[in-house]
Amino acid sequence: MFEGSILALDIGGFRQHLLIWEPGQDMEDAVKMVIPAPTRILARRLQRLTEQGQAIFLTGRMMGGGAVTQAVRHHLSQGLKVYATPQAALTLNDRPEIVQQWGVIITEATSFKEVPFPLGDINMYGLSASLSSFEISLPDNIAVALLDHGFHPEGSNRRVRFKYWKEILNRNGKIQDLAFREPPPYFKRMSAVAEALPGALLMDTCAAGVYGALLDPRAREQQEEGLMVVYLGNAHTFAVLVQGEHLWGIYEHHTRLLNQAKLFSHLARFQGGELTNTEVFADYGHGCAYAPGYSLRSQFSFTVITGPRRHLAHGWPGGIFAAPFGDMTFTGCFGLITAFFESRSNDMMPKL
């Protein structure tokens, strides 16, 4: 029987959402925090070292790049030295030669004159120190969501990331397959989190948002008949066709490349089984795929929408905005907690 509390950590590119839930507790009473994303915290820290004119040595694990990569390149532009271990350098780019062209010196050890600068998506010490001031302890049970583009230095990481979604569809397309404890080998960022937090449940940020959106009572009522769930993230837009526990289709694009007209066109044709992988990839998206045996199903016309860029879908016919437990902001965390319990076959799923 499950005992203890659960930490759900949904890590995005701009912010991270933290939720601690205890069995028997109303979800409305759970501890919730919204804080800057790890990449933005470290970018601010690096900016101070740039202003001080300090050389730095990047250590630790691979993490999400984004703001950190920009801060490193700015540091270099100021004529300051940047050293990095091979593992830390993967944060900046899949290809070490490109990082070296920027001026980063990749090495296992330096002269110790540089300021050590550890990288990583997970900072349990920092989270523990912050929470302890409120007399809150970090749980032993942890579920984490983050976006991993996939490691493919010789080709397109758009293809390698979408390869995972295709694999799920081709092996019976069960929604439970969106969560795992051992990430695919080409998901290096998730693997780094798995090393830092052995035994933690892992999910893609988009998948966690979908999982959480399905907790909306209106989605639950429609799930057996079928529906489309759309997650509009800051970086990625992700949609699935769901019937019961079965995934019939997956679509993924970059949100910045979508306006409302294009989004609506893609979603309408995705619902109808007419959108092709070739079209989406050629438009610099990730792709579109359907499960074997897919046939046009009119019941997918009901749509549940979530994500920080959900305003793009205002006016979508037949769409509702998910608010599980009356809270849109923590949809991904709710999805993580649900997936955590569903992954434990020996435990009964509690009523959340």
User: pLDDT tens digits for 244-257?
Assistant: 999 999 999 999 99
> Which amino acid belongs to residue 145?
A
Residue 243 included in any domain: yes
At 294, the pLDDT band (50, 70, 90 cuts) reads confident
Residue 254's contacts (CB-CB under 8 Å, 6 or more residues apart) are 235, 236, 237, 284, 285, 286
pLDDT at 349 over 60: no
- Residue 350 has a pLDDT of 62
What CATH code is carried by the domain that includes residue 73? 3.40.50
pLDDT tens-digit map of 315-333: 999 889 999 999 999 999 9
Residues 323 and 242 in one domain: yes
Inter-residue contact 63 to 119 (CB < 8 Å): yes
pLDDT at 161 over 80: yes
Inter-residue contact 150 to 186 (CB < 8 Å): yes
Mean pLDDT, the chain, rounded, equals 92
pLDDT at 17 over 60: yes
pLDDT at 348 over 60: no
Residues 319 and 292 in one domain: yes
Residues 234 and 171 in one domain: yes
Pairing mode of beta strands 236-243, 15-21 = unpaired
At 236, the pLDDT band (50, 70, 90 cuts) reads very high
- Residue 279 has a pLDDT of 97
Residues 154 and 247 in one domain: yes
Lowest model confidence (mean pLDDT) among 3-12, 104-113, 187-196, 295-304: 295-304
Domain that holds residue 58: 38-119
